[in-house]
Amino acid sequence: MITCRTAKQCGKADFGWLKARYTFSFGHYFDPSLMGYASLRVLNQEVLAPGAGLQPRGYPRVDVLNVILQGEAEYRDSLGNCLRAKAGEVLLLSAQPGITYSEQNPGTRPLTRMQLWLDACPARVNDAAQQLTLRHRPCQLLASPDGAQGSLQLRQQAWVHHIDLAAGERHTLRLHGPRAYLQSIHGEVQAIGHDGQARQRLACGDGAFICEEPELTIVADSPLRALLIDLAE
């Protein structure tokens, strides 16, 4: 089964210095039926104005994955660590209890990024931060439980893929778990289930809940960038 959630259905914020679209309940946006999907707690697209920043805050026990689409981001924690990530890079923060984290746009251009929170297994211990560079390939594994294919290592049974297709191209992925979520970052896409019966067409910014599909075929109707989050739990 594939169920579309359009960009228009998502929660929104516009504070001037911050513009955001929320797939699930977050901040002032609350929908009791949309508190997350399996271990995926948060999926936001946010734009921070030049010089703007988010004040230090703590996180629940989650892995915070930031995919930088435009501009540059600076992250600091209360232990004194400082990291920067620019467009085309991905940063994974393994949030820890008692530690606060802040984010700043140090540049002169808007900072646009996708941010995901994934529940972390309490028994897993990872590096505080991990970073990688996006590659120009149809499908790149960004994060996984075991760091396969040079991906970032999560504290959860989840696999996050970056999809980059030209118009007319397609890519098929076998899914590990019973649920997944597909998010169009840019472009129009068809999501097709394993037997071809379940299918949805997504516009730019739309997403889709995928349930009980052992594989998914992604067909780009226009140049496409997307995220596929494969959820075993």
pTM: 0.95
Q: What is the pLDDT of residue 193?
A: 94
Mean pLDDT by 10 residues, the chain (233 residues): 96 96 94 94 97 93 97 95 96 94 96 97 86 96 96 97 97 95 97 91 97 96 98 85
Which pLDDT score, from 0 to 100, does residue 127 have?
A: 86
- In sequence order, what E strands does 123-205 have? 129-133, 139-144, 152-153, 158-165, 170-174, 179-186, 189-192, 199-202
Q: What is the pLDDT of residue 197?
A: 86
* 79 contacts 99 by C-beta, under 8 angstroms: yes
User: How many Å apart are CA 40 and CA 24, to the nearest integer?
Assistant: 9
At 182, which CATH number? 2.60.120.10
Q: Which residues contact 196 (CB under 8 A, 6 or more apart)?
A: none
State the virtual CA torsion across 58, 68, 204, 178 in degrees, nearest 10: -60
Q: Which residue range forms the structural domain that includes residue 64?
A: 2-231
Quote the pLDDT of residue 3. 97
Number of domains making up the chain:
1
Q: What is the pLDDT of residue 124?
A: 83
Element containing residue 42 per DSSP (H, E): strand 40-48
